[in-house]
Each structure stands twice: as C-alpha cells, then as structure tokens.
Amino acid sequence: MARSSASSSERPARTGLPTSGARVYLDYASFAPVDPRVVAVMRPFFEGGVGNPNAQHSLGLEARSSLDGARGKVARLFGATPAGVIFTASATEANNLAIKGLAQRAAGRHLVTSAIEHVSLIDSCRDLEKRGWSVSYVGVDAGGRVDPEAVARAIRDDTVLVSVMAANTEIGTIQPVREIGRIARARGVPFHVDAVGAAGRVPLLVDDCRIDLLTLSSNDLYGPPGAGALWARSTVKLAPLTVGGGQERGYRAGTENLPAIAGMGVAADLARVEVAGEVARLSELRDRLMAGLLDRITEARLTGARGPDRLPHHVSIVVPGVKAESVLTDLDLRGIAASSGATCTAMTGEPSHVLRAIGCDRDTAEGSLCFTLGRWTTASEIDLVLDAVPAVVARARRPASQ
C-alpha cells in the first residue's frame, strides 16, 4: 500500500510541478500537475510495443488487461462496479454524455440541476432547451449550498434526471448529495453527480449517495489531462454522442487513449489510498491561508461555505475595490500563480454565474480571487502568499496619482 501523504517528506518529488517560472502554484483546481508516480506507469505505454485493446492478438489482449485494470481502479474510488465506467477524453465530455445521452433515451423531457454547475453541464442543458426540453435551475443560498427540499419541489412527473455537483470548484462549497440522492431515488429519477471537485477529497460512494451517473476528471486526481470518465449504473440507458465503433460498450466510439487511461487509473488508486492524510494536511494549510487573508485584507469576504462544508484545499475571496486581473498579474510577477473564478468560463468575459448565484454583483465579482492548494503545497509557500497578497491588494487599491 502506498504511504500516506501526511508529511512533506513523504510527498512525491516536486518534479511534476509546472516549470513556467511560478515559484508558488496555487491553481490546482485549474490544472493539477501530474504525479511523478503516474508518469512512471504511463511511460512504458509510450516506449514499448503496446497493442490496440480491441485487437485479438497477444499485445491487444495485454492492452485490454491494462484498460480493464484502470477501469477497476477508477471504480474502487467510488465503490462502484467497474463495468459501469465509460472512459472519455475529459469530464466535459462525460457531462455531455450524462445529460444529453440520458435525455435522448428517456420518455420525459424535464431535467433538474443547480444554478452553479460547471459550464459544460449548464451548456448541455441549454442545448437541450433549444431542442424542446425544459430545465429547472435550482438556486443556492449565500454560501452556495443547494437545498435538497428545493430539488424535491422542482421534480415533476416528466423529470428524467437530477444533476447536482458534489462540490463547486469556484467557491469550494460541498453539496448535500446524499440527501439529494435519497430524494431522487424515492421519486424514481436518476441522479447524476459531477464529482470533479470532490474526487479524492470528499467521501463519495455511489450506493451510499444513491448516485446513478458520476463524472470524473483524470487531471483533478493528479493524472494526465486528456482522460475522463462517466460511471453509469446498469439500469441507466444512454444514447452515445460519438458513433463509429463499439468501444466503451458502444457509448464512446474511438480507440481508447490507453496511456492516459492507465495513468488515470493509477491516480485514482493513489487518491483512494492517500486521501485521509492529504485531506488533513491540506485542511490545516487552507485554514491558515484563509484566516490570514481575511485578517490582513480590509473588507475581504470569503465566498462559499465554511467548516466541513468546504473543500479541504480551497480558499476563495472577493476583495472590494480591486480588479482580479490586475492582482493576479502582479502576483504572477512575484512568482505566485492563482486564479479568479473558473478557468473554463474566464474567456467568455462574462461575470461568473456562480458568483451571481450567491448574490455578488458585477463590481464585487471583479475582485474574485481563488487559491487552490495541492499535493505539493507547503507551509512556507502559504507564508509567502500571506506576505504578498495583502501588499499587492493595497497597491491595487492605491489611487493612480499616488
């Protein structure tokens, strides 16, 4: 069994960190560096003679064994059946398959989701609305929490799916998926959970939470980008989005990306084994960073939930009187990489739909800063950030004439 990652001496070498010049990397929600132990397992797939997992010769059978092994490792992370794992190229593709694939096979034409889902899920729902489906977007409270009873009230006789993410990666709030799952099961409606933000950080078992579909990203587990998965319970029927072959039980045509999938399997296994120590370590660093920023930056306000309802690696704040873009640029010049809101929506130029949902106006949202910690974050790096951010904010607030 792999050792716990509770102490810095036991954590993997920092060779997986980005080399773009950032001395302190606190943008793990955007991109988690690939763990060197994952890279080591992937390397033979690039350097050796690996066959197509659908070929019938010996190399193909070996490749099939590696593919099935990865499927089992991913399934074990959530206490799921390996046969239900459908490998995709990303969590975005998995969300599209869950939403559109189920809707196209179901009799009803109504879906229930939350107002703070990932843009890939929101846009999938909007695409269905253009084609005649109706969608109920359940609001959240000021901490970004979905009320299970509001979900219950939104379910109709023609509802075919309830979809609520396990945790929001923009504000760090963990959702009450167990309660929502029980409501959906009692009403006979399949329940989908986007588990990208929670995987390896929050206990999440598909049977305990009555989950019928679950989305997973490789890179958020310190695995390679270019791989994701959708787990689907055997009772759920989906229409494939990509046709042209029988791969992944016919749900996702195209030769599987075996090196990335094998890496994803290893990453899922490491996350399952090391979760307890890593969560404890990151929670301590998170609380230290959170308290320091709120204490040292006047009028700074935490976004998202506090305490056990917050992701253990996540700190997000809004700072009145500054533009996040300016602050992040200054931090980058000082060797600190952080973010503002969700990277996947940053290019639209629109205010974050998540911050709007929790009551932030446009001016407030413009001062949104997000710091996400990870496997290689150290206490000394937190000290550097606590020294740098208040100074950068003070400079950004200073009138241009000074």
Residues acting as catalytic residues: 344
Cβ proximity of 319 and 397 under 8 Å: no
Residue 158: CB atoms within 10 Å? 13
Contact 95, 121 (CB under 8 A): yes
Element (H, E) at 389: helix 379-397
Q: Which residue has the tokens 């190229």?
A: 89
C-alpha 308/C-alpha 132 separation (Å) is 40
| Cα 168 from Cα 194, distance rounded (Å) | 9
- Measuring CA to CA, which residue among 271, 258, 255 is closest to residue 42? 258
Paired residues of 24 in beta bridges: 336
Q: Among positive and negative, which fits the CA dihedral 64, 69, 70, 76?
A: positive
Q: Which residues contact 239 (CB under 8 A, 6 or more apart)?
A: 100, 101, 102, 104, 105
Q: How would you classify residue 34: left for phi > 0, otherwise alpha for psi between -120 and 50, otherwise beta?
A: beta
